[in-house]
Amino acid sequence: MRSARFSTFLRIIFVCLAALLQACSVSRSVEYDSVDLDTAQIELPSYELLDVGILLFDPAIPGSREEREKKLIFPEVRRAEARYMPFHLKSTLESTGYWGSVWTLPENSDAVDLVIWGRIDNSNGYEANLRLGAWDATGREWLNKNYKTIVPAKAYAQNRDLTQDPYQNIYNEIANDLLAIRSKMTADELDDIRSVARMRFATNLIPDAFATHLSQTRDGRYQVQRLPAEDDPMLLRMEAVREREYMLVDALNEHYAGLYYDLADPYESWRKMSREEAIRYKELKRSARMRQLLGAAAIIGAMTYENKGGSNAAITQTAVIGGIEGISSGIVISAEADKHKDALVELGDSFDAEAEPMVIEVEGQTRRLTGSAEEKYQEWRRILREIYAVETGGVLEQNIAEPDSPVGNAATPD
């Protein structure tokens, strides 16, 4: 009786092994969702439009090489994505017709009404996961949310609409969520956001003149106490500087546009190949793991059968041989999976996203800005300080504040 039980046990193992190995050889069926973008059917009046600044995303690159390799994160790709993704989100928001000016920013600016911050938690061409937050000038939180998508192969088809990014579902969902929040606001609330943004810029620029115009509540929200007269000389100077700030970010966005289009083809090729490699790598790893586990189970079953007094040597031998073959084939498949991982590493290492120097002209002066986007932006702000310090007799030189943190007094998304 005992021998019959163990014979049945081993037969079950073999049946399961055969079934699971067959399952491992078949790709999983994945459901791909599609998110439609809400767009305006008529042109909205300017007083309903908010200006938006999208900060360069946090690439979230782990510090240790071991962790980067484990998660298949390639610094060169992530740094490129941190510039590419905000610009595509900008293009998506602009296409809706629901927003005013939309800029990609290297750091926060009080010249905009709504600031968006993002972090890339995962991106391999097959799966993407972004953490995104949004706050308006008053300090009100709009979004603090994870966005995920799984990308079908057709998203990389050559005959598709090339304005649609393979990750377009994420961008559409973000745009729709922002619109849903904006649509619930009254005209007075929208006007209040614009007024607070204007006074925050003025206060940071010339604190002595505008400090009493703005206050903060205990929870960090900004409120306008009073507005200056429209012909106030200091307000007119502030507006002139603010226009220079817009000119600054316009020029930077021309630079980002060039970088965006330069990256488009190599980045899409990388994502397409990375998607194939990532899927194959996961499938092979899953298959290898299952083969090894079932092989070990077969050997343990054979040993147990023998230790319990089983006398059929054929059963024991068959189970051990089958188990060893399962483990061996799992090791071979695991090695093959590692080759695909190495291919991903090679793809990542070959991706170059260095930004070219940018030449600008302001007030008749030609300046060459180098370094990262953040360094270019900081250098330009320094140039503006110099120019307006001369124009105002030094009044502004000490009072142009450094940019706030990306989200003001609000907490960065988890």
- Of 405, 403, 410, which is closest to residue 138 (Cα–Cα)? 410
Give the number of other Cβ atoms within 10 Å of residue 244's Cβ. Answer: 18
Question: Rounded to whole angstroms, how far apart are CA atoms 18 and 21?
Answer: 5
What 3-state class would DSSP assign to 149?
Answer: strand
Q: How many CA atoms lie within 13 A of 405 on its CB side?
A: 8
Please list the helix, strand and coil fractions of the chain in percent, rounded to the nearest 5, in that order.
55, 15, 30
Buried b or exposed e, range 183-218, using 16+ CB within 10 angstroms: eebeeeebebbbbbbbbbbbbbbbeebbeebbeeee
Mean pLDDT by 10 residues, the chain (414 residues): 51 52 48 85 92 95 85 81 93 97 90 96 92 96 96 85 90 98 95 93 79 86 87 82 82 82 79 74 54 52 53 49 47 44 47 51 66 70 66 49 43 55
Structure confidence at residue 170 (pLDDT): 97
Axis crossing angle, helix 75-96 with helix 313-349, rounded to the nearest 10? 70
Cα 70 to Cα 4, 323, 345: the distances in Å are 45, 29, 11
Assigned token pair, 385: 């300080």
Segment 302-305 long-range contacts (CB within 8 Å, at least 24 positions apart): 302/10, 304/6, 305/3, 305/6, 305/7, 305/9, 305/10
Alpha-carbon dihedral angle through residues 273, 275, 276, 282, given to the nearest 10 degrees: 140
Cβ(196)–Cβ(206) below 8 Å:
no
Assigned token pair, 159: 């005959």
Please name the amino acid found at residue 315.
Answer: I
- Cα diameter, the chain: 104
Tokens 């899409």 identify what position? Answer: 268
Measured over the CA atoms of residue 234, residue 235, residue 238 and residue 239, the dihedral's sign is negative
Phi first, then psi, for residue 74 (nearest 5°) are -110, 115
How would you classify residue 235: left for phi > 0, otherwise alpha for psi between -120 and 50, otherwise beta? alpha
In this structure, the strands spanning 127-136 and 141-150 are: antiparallel
Phi first, then psi, for residue 402 (nearest 5°) are -70, 155
Q: First CA to last CA across the chain, in angstroms? A: 59
Cα 135 to Cα 46, 362, 369: the distances in Å are 20, 31, 30
Alpha-carbon dihedral angle through residues 6, 12, 17, 18, given to the nearest 10 degrees: 130
Structure confidence at residue 25 (pLDDT): 46
Give the number of other Cβ atoms within 10 Å of residue 410's Cβ. Answer: 20
